[in-house]
Amino acid sequence: MPLRRATASVDRLTLEQKVGQMFMLAFAGSTAASAATLLRDHHVGACYLSNDNLVDPAQSATLMAELQGLARAGSGVPALLAADQEGAWAVLTRHSCPGPGNMGLGATGAVDDTREMYTVFGEELRAAGLNADLAPAADVNSNPLNSIIGMRSFGEDPEAVARHVRAAVAGLHDAGIIAAAKHFPGHGDSSIDTHRGLARVDGDRQALGRRELVPFRAAVDCGVDIVMTSHIMFPALDPEHPATLSPVILGDLLRGTMGFGGVILTDSFNMQAIRRAYDPLDAVVQTVQAGADMVLLAEERYGDESGDYVERQVRLVAGLVRAVRQGRLPASRVDDAVARILALKARYGLADRPVASATAAVKAVGSPAHREIERRVAADAVVLIQNRGGVVPLNAERSQRLVVLSATDEEGYHRMAAGRGIGPNVVERPAEVAFAEIRRRRPDALSLSLRDGEWEAQAGRLAGASAFVVVTEKFPLAGFDFPDATQHRLIQWLVSTQTSPVIVLACRDPYELAAFPGVDAYICAVGYRPACARAAVDVLFGDTAPRGRLPVSIPGLHPVGHGLNYP
């Protein structure tokens, strides 16, 4: 639907229905009951779905059909139903094929892998009844200390990230799914997680133009449907407002200079970057005035929430209606935003899409064809970063008394479980998958999961090892850092006390190598899904050759593009 026709459709909506369209809201649980008041009574135009809502493919398809029924009973406009399906963050993870995630895709160097993987995301989301993916992340991960982006980025080379962003958008479009580039104008150089507080990225306009903005220009040029804003200060662009609230960044830069004509969606207003610094309603009014078309409130939980979450969302919707009636927000700005939203929904034919089928969802999500794509792409991503003395692939002598270790801090999994289904949603722990794959090849291998410091008490059992393999893991969590210091202390102890080779099999990003550069070999899966752990074990034993290359640099050790081969 052209914007002109969408404008005519806007005129048929009441003010309450218009304002409802401008919110993407969330609800708890796996039934539509909690969403009824949002969609039917307050005409909310979009829902953010997390793993808390999506239990399995059949349930997801049924729930999405019920949500669309509620939307039609309210405003009569179909709902935009979206999730974070980007690989490193994912939904339906027990069933779907998330693949290695963006940094792993960057490690493949193959944009065809990215397009295929994002087509898989799109086909699985569509089969489960969703119609939008809040992906890809177009952030350039130039800061190794960035805990919230990290593996969600394709890498640190702006042009390479841009190529993968184009491929990701194309893949989603191939599946008929709405694509969203995030977190504009770039979250990759921040050191603060905006789930916890307001972040800041310094650098002059020229530097931002050469780095942060490159992938977003590519996204706009290839027809991305939505651009999601970031809650970050960019003093060189606007010294007074974070991007989400900035008319300079959203209006002058994104709409004006970059020519983006699609829907501008905020990042979640439940994040601490907004909640701690602004009155919620004032912030909503301000972001719409600045140029945002739709406000997202995902249901993050940080342990200090009280009261009814849905009721708080309803108050914001009602508050924005009052702001228009009181003249705080021009009605023309609302009409412009809603016209863009309706045009997007019409362009994808949401009103005419058939109701999702539970049977079709079960067949499509995690299908054998998708699993094969995931397996192949995960194999392409594995990077052999270090291999002193050619200790890998493991030969018969080094496998004779193999000791396989993990020292993952359980607190990381406790924190992930507190995220209400937002984030990595790891179901099968990478270390456990790797242990099983190694034991399948070497049934006599000794496998131990150790707590902090336990390795010294286990020194007797470790004596005489022909080689040590330590499986490390780390995930980008919303609002928390996944603790990895215990894993590093184990490796440092092994390097300093043992004479047998120490091999790290990393189911994570590669930055940790800077903490223990003395290891004999470092194999990085650049991903933590089961397919990634299996692919790394294949490289460990020489069943496949390492093909990946570093998409990020390891400061002081290895540049972007580094990667070793087997002779």
**Gap between the Cα atoms of 524 and 383, Å rounded:** 5
- CB of 548 within 8 A of CB of 554? no
Instruction: Work out the burial of residue 295: count CB atoms within 10 Å of its CB; fewer than 13 is exposed, 13-18 middle, 19 or more buried.
Output: buried
Half-sphere exposure of 339 (CA within 13 A, CB side): 15
| CA pair distance 184, 181, nearest whole angstrom | 8
Residue 184 main-chain phi, psi, to 5 deg: -65, 140
Task: State the Cα–Cα distance between residues 267 and 92, nearest whole angstrom.
Answer: 22
Which residues lie below 8 Å from residue 515, measured CB to CB, with a gap of 6+?
A: 488, 491, 492
Q: How many helices (H) and strands (E) does the chain have?
A: 22, 17
Alpha carbons 107 and 153: distance in angstroms, whole number: 11
- Closest CA relative to residue 385, chosen from 536, 159, 495: 536
Of 195, 231, 241, 370, catalytic: 195
Distance of alpha carbon 345 from alpha carbon 79, whole angstroms: 8
Indicate the DSSP class of residue 522. Answer: E
Listed in sequence order, the residues at least 6 apart from 375 whose beta carbon sits closer than 8 Å to its beta carbon are 531, 534, 535
Phi, psi angles (nearest 5°) of residue 270:
-90, 0
Phi and psi at residue 72, to the nearest 5°: -70, -30
With a CB cutoff of 8 Å and minimum separation 6, the contacts of 419 are: 300, 301, 477, 478, 479
Helix (H) or strand (E) segment spanning residue 207: helix 205-210
CA dihedral 333→339→340→342, nearest 10 degrees, is: 140
273 with 243: CB under 8 angstroms? no
> Choosing from 139, 189, 267, 520, which is the catalytic residue?
267
Q: Are 298 and 479 in contact (CB under 8 A)?
A: no
Tokens of 215: 């992938």
Bridge partners (DSSP) of residue 405 are 448, 470
562 is catalytic: no
Catalytic site includes residue 195: yes
Q: Which residues pair with 227 in a beta bridge?
A: 181, 264
User: Which residues are known to be catalytic?
Assistant: 195, 267
